[in-house]
Amino acid sequence: MPADRRNSTASTIRSLGALGAVGFAFVLAVVIGFFIGVGLDRLTGLSPLFTILCFFLGLAAGIVNVVRAASSYSEQGKDGPAPGRPGPR
């Protein structure tokens, strides 16, 4: 197998790994927010309030994580990793 093709395949696999990690982190942020909200609702007795609030906070945290990863990935593609930010692995 030529070196160019091996590098291309390795780069593709690294990119897919980074995308998978970002997707997993997004789902994890939403699920953690939801379960923290359920726990707070059980402690306080304010049934849907904290579940809804923490779900949306988790959703916002997940979106911020995706935006950060996407900007880091696009900046890395231009000139290497951005200063102060590690590139996707």
The token pair at 60 is 């916002």
What would the pLDDT profile of 71-80 be if each residue is shown by its tens digit? Answer: 887 777 655 5
Within a 10 A sphere around the Cβ of 3, how many other Cβ atoms? 7
Residue 17 lies in a domain: no
Q: CA angle, corner 13, sides to 9 and 16, nearest 5?
A: 140
Closest CA to 41 of 57, 56, 52, 28: 52
The mean pLDDT of 37-62, rounded to a whole number, is: 95
**pLDDT in the model for residue 18:** 82
Closest CA to 58 of 16, 84, 89, 28: 28
Residue 7 lies in a domain: no
Closest CA to 39 of 49, 29, 51: 51
What would the pLDDT profile of 52-67 be if each residue is shown by its tens digit? Answer: 999 999 999 999 999 9
- Structural element, H or E, at residue 87: none
Query: Whole-prediction pTM value?
Result: 0.72
Residue 86 lies in a domain: no
Q: How far apart, in whole angstroms, are the C-alpha atoms of residue 18 and residue 86? A: 12
Domain that holds residue 54: 22-76
Q: How many domains does the chain have?
A: 1
